[in-house]
Structure 1
Amino acid sequence: MIRTPPEAPRANSFAERWVGTVRRKCTDRTLIVGERHLAAVLAEYTTHYDGHRPHRSLGQQPPKPTPHVVDLNAARIQRRPILGGLINEYSQAA
């Protein structure tokens, strides 16, 4: 185990990146009214962040991409708001 020194933000770059992303994309734009609300918002954002958000290192693909290719000309696209419309996810309508 390697201990990170106190007050050294560059010592744990992965944690700093996660905290910065959550603050910029989620909590700075949402009025949090309590601890339970914060936990619910963070759980929903974590699900979006880990499963649907495109990652630059994966060629703008999400970590869990859909297994089939969709013809966008023939498909209907459905929008699903996340966090009350703060973030939108798009998928093929059934």
Structure 2
Amino acid sequence: MEVNGNIRPNRSDVHLSKEEETKIEEATREYFDDIAPKRHTKPQRSDYSSTYVDHINLYPSSHDTIPENLEFQRLENDPQVYLLLYICLFCFSRGGFRI
């Protein structure tokens, strides 16, 4: 309900001062900011890096010690594995292997 440009609350509305509203809003924002999942920033597509600066701060050494991840990184950088994968994909795209 509007009277003289001012909005009057209904009787059932809670009446809070501006300071109390601001205080509650700040507490609510802080709560939800704290429980929100923390994620590293996305890099540009052309900027590849195995570790990101904010990733190191958020997840200290939790992903660096996984043996499967280390083996994957080793295989990912091995040129022989890359060549074998390329040959396999090429052969399958031509109708499979013929031995």
Q: TM-score scaled to structure 2, two decimals?
A: 0.23
Q: Which has the higher helix share?
A: 2
Q: TM-score scaled to structure 1, two decimals?
A: 0.24
Q: Which has the higher strand share?
A: 1
Higher relative contact order (CA 8 A, sep 6+): 1
Structure with max Cα Rg: 2
